[in-house]
Amino acid sequence: MQYKKLGRTGLFVSRLCLGTMNFGDVTDKAASFSIMDRAFEAGINFFDTADVYGGPQRPDIPLGYGISEEIVGEWLVRSGRRDEVVLATKLYQPMIAGPNGGRLSAYHIRKACEDSLRRLKTDHIDLWQMHHFDRTTPWEEIWEAMDVLIGQGKVLYVGSCNFPGWGIAAAQGEARARHMLGLVSEQSRYSLACRAIELEVLPSARYHGMGVLAYSPLDGGLLAGALQKAAGRARRDKPSLPLRDAHFHERLAAYEDLCSRSGLAPADVAQAWVLANPDITCPIVGPRTMAQLESSIRALDLVLDEPMLEKLDAIFPGPGGEAPEAYAW
């Protein structure tokens, strides 16, 4: 396994982060435990979850959330590996009914932390990420609440998720005024087929010394050979995979053809492309099965050469570089 520092911190994390969104939903507890066992065995020391992950599986939880955290917490206790795992989770989305059940008020931040700690069966969260940008809560309130939890030893590092570039700058400016470390990472959707963060988010994260965690590196499975799989389902009289539009269908066909001619699995190429970007700390892989985890681990050994990267860029062109040069001078 390869490791990389998380932004400007002294913390090293594996080049693959194990995402647990499917745990408790499409992946049951036993299979989730096996996936975590294998991930740790392979050297993955970075696990990512969220309070809302897991799906509506339990009638005693009205909103159906918290199940993924519970499964990860049980595994940490069972395995005895808590001190060897960099544990990341998130807050923001509603977990209880009422107007204060979500977002980033100090009220919700305090309760969300206590609830996540209880479900994860631990006394601290290594990386606590704000799951979305809150336009209604001032940064002085957010950072004051976070500072209390950091002082209590309940949170070590704070990260963002789905933040705009200007939101990162606003957060870091207020943190600097409070003499705080501020955000150490940003988690954003990023793949060959979804490159919008190259405009503002990646440059902002780089400037502020933040790690970047890329989720959905396979673009929801579309970059994992979706057309070939859809054709197989069609032959079995099952519905084909819905795609965005004809133009995207053409790009996807060209992508799968390039992978086939190169003798490479599309999923491996998509993840290797994300890993090749020096701004990316690691992709977050969210396997539903052990086979999907093994595929992600295999992608670590695939190094794409410049001609291959240029061909991929031609099929899935990005926004044209960073702002403002991407659209101005």
Q: Of residues 3, 53, 107, 327, which has the active-site annotation?
A: 53
β-strands 12-14, 3-5: how paired?
A: antiparallel
53 among known catalytic residues: yes
Contact 15, 23 (CB under 8 A): no
Contact 293, 38 (CB under 8 A): yes
Question: What tokens appear for 272 in the block?
Answer: 């290797």
How far is the C-alpha of 295 from the C-alpha of 265, rounded, in Å?
Answer: 9
Contact 122, 87 (CB under 8 A): yes
How far is the C-alpha of 243 from the C-alpha of 42, rounded, in Å?
Answer: 34
In angstroms, what CA-CA distances link 15 with 4, 71, 213, 264? 6, 23, 10, 20
Spatial CB neighbours of 217, under 8 Å, sequence gap ≥ 6: 190, 191, 223, 270, 271, 274, 283, 284, 285
| Residue count of the chain | 329
| DSSP reduced 3-state for 13 | strand
Place of tokens 């789905």: 162
**Catalytic amino acids?**
53
